[in-house]
Amino acid sequence: MKSFVVGILVFLFTLNLNAQIISGPMLGYNTMREVLVWVQIEKEAEVVMTYNSVESDKLGEKTVRYKTNNESANTARLIATDLEPGTTYNYSISIGGEETILAKGEFTTQELWQHRKDPPNFSFATGSCAYTNEPNYDRPGEGYGKSTEVYETIAQMNPDLMLWLGDNIYLREPDWTSNTGINHRYTHFKSLPEIQNLWKSCHHYAIWDDHDFGPNDADRSFINKNLTIAAFQNFWGNPSYGLEENAGITSQFKYNDAEFFLLDNRYFRSPNERKTGKREILGSKQIEWLIDALLNSSASFKFVAIGGQFLSPAAVYENHATYPEERKLIIDLIDQEGIKNVVFLTGDRHKTELSKLETKSGIIIYDYTTSPLASTAYNTSDEGNTLRVKGTHVDTQNFGLLYLSGALKERVLSIKTFDTKGKLIWDQEIERQY
């Protein structure tokens, strides 16, 4: 009997060790003292990450363990703690702490530059609408997803981080009614071979839009939004999700001298066709938090990420202009509070363009829409965006790369739009307002 039990334990232990990585490692949020590393494996197991400083053995080797489970699709959020600012670390991932290493990589924490020197120069990529074809579940006919070479191209550009601006996974009819379906859609996207280099080459942050939240044009009535929130948390590496008593995915993070405000345009959204009651996308609590947070920020540039196009006055599709009262309220509050250097980062539209608005008091607000990464693109140059910066409309697959450079008092934001092969389509420079 004893030998039988031992045999069973050895068998189960062996099964545990045989687990392989499905997707990742992906670098998540990055601070001076913590970095998240995400990975997904094929079955329940204990995932072990060991990390140590490249520069100094004195910092010692550290280990973090995470037990995966089937309900969360065997994803693991491995948080490296007790790190030093501006330091590069090697990490390795194994199952159960065994000698067989499944993956290796490195990350560098943010520098402690404040009160010491000018902020480091850095870059980040932006994009949205990343439909990945899966014929068994796609609509009949030509695939909506297009070339995936853009992911390798972005990785080769070597940005410090990437911001995914929604419509990242495209839930389909078999997906949004169950945890099984939602996990399948995330797994299918994140395990794409062409994207694996990108996951580990820079730090990733994300927001969602309707196709990550639920059905097309989904709103607060979607009955399974708690399932899609759980999946969003399991598969992305943001530093937080939601505001105090509010649910949703709202978050905020700093990177060098920039600050990013990640908004939720779905969880609180009233139906597009609702005729009674208050029509809202973000809701009053989220808007009040945003204005408070923007005012509290001393960042050179304040990037506000939201799934749908914000500045364009064209009241079409799901542009914020279709909810004109809320759009006007946000613009007026930015103007009245004197909040400068706000740049909205948006997606959704399957086209790219830069919009620019000067308020009554002379404050300039920008909206950089970047789309699509890997979906069908459309030409909507004639839809009536009177705020579009001339020459910035792009109707092919593309991505954005934004650079912050220069001394703190002379900081410049450079926005560059590239095609899927890395060819520059257009670029614009924005100086910091004082």
Tens of pLDDT, residue by residue, the chain (434 residues): 444 444 444 444 444 557 899 999 999 999 999 999 999 999 999 999 999 999 876 667 899 999 999 999 999 999 999 999 999 999 999 998 677 899 999 999 999 999 999 999 999 999 999 999 999 999 999 999 999 999 999 999 999 999 999 999 999 999 999 999 999 999 999 999 999 999 999 999 999 999 999 999 999 999 999 999 999 999 999 999 999 877 899 999 999 999 999 999 999 999 999 999 999 999 999 999 999 999 999 999 999 999 999 999 999 999 999 999 999 999 999 999 999 999 999 999 999 999 999 999 999 999 999 999 999 999 999 999 999 999 999 999 999 999 999 999 999 999 999 999 999 999 999 999 99
Q: What integer pLDDT is reported at residue 17 of this predicted model?
A: 56
**DSSP letter, residue 80:** E
Q: What integer pLDDT is reported at residue 57 of this predicted model?
A: 65
- State the first-to-last Cα distance of the chain, in angstroms, to the nearest integer: 79
Amino acid at 356: K
Nearest to 350 by CA among 151, 138, 144, 143: 144
Instruction: Output phi, psi for 84, to 5 deg.
Output: -105, 140
Q: What integer pLDDT is reported at residue 5 of this predicted model?
A: 43
Distance CA 311, CA 388 (A): 9
Instruction: Output phi, psi for 170, to 5 deg.
Output: 60, 75
This prediction's pTM: 0.95
Distance CA 76, CA 23 (A): 11
Q: What integer pLDDT is reported at residue 16 of this predicted model?
A: 52
- Judge whether 47 and 66 are in contact, CB under 8 Å: yes
Q: What integer pLDDT is reported at residue 59 of this predicted model?
A: 66
Q: Which two tokens stand for residue 244?
A: 């105090």
419: region left, alpha or beta (phi > 0 left; psi from -120 to 50 alpha):
beta
Give, for 90, the enclosing helix (H) or strand (E): strand 88-95
Distance CA 213, CA 171 (A): 8
- Judge whether 68 and 47 are in contact, CB under 8 Å: yes
Strands, sheet with 364-369, edge to edge from the N-terminal-most edge strand = 251-255, 258-262, 301-306, 342-346, 364-369, 353-358
Q: What integer pLDDT is reported at residue 3 of this predicted model?
A: 47
Distance CA 377, CA 397 (A): 6
Sign of the C-alpha dihedral, residues 53, 77, 73, 248? Answer: negative
Pairing of strands 62-67, 75-80: unpaired
Residue 259, strand partner residues: 254, 302
The long-range contacts involving 110-116, CB below 8 angstroms and separated by at least 24 positions, are 110/30, 110/31, 110/32, 110/85, 110/86, 110/255, 110/256, 111/32, 111/85, 111/86, 111/256, 112/32, 112/85, 112/86, 113/256
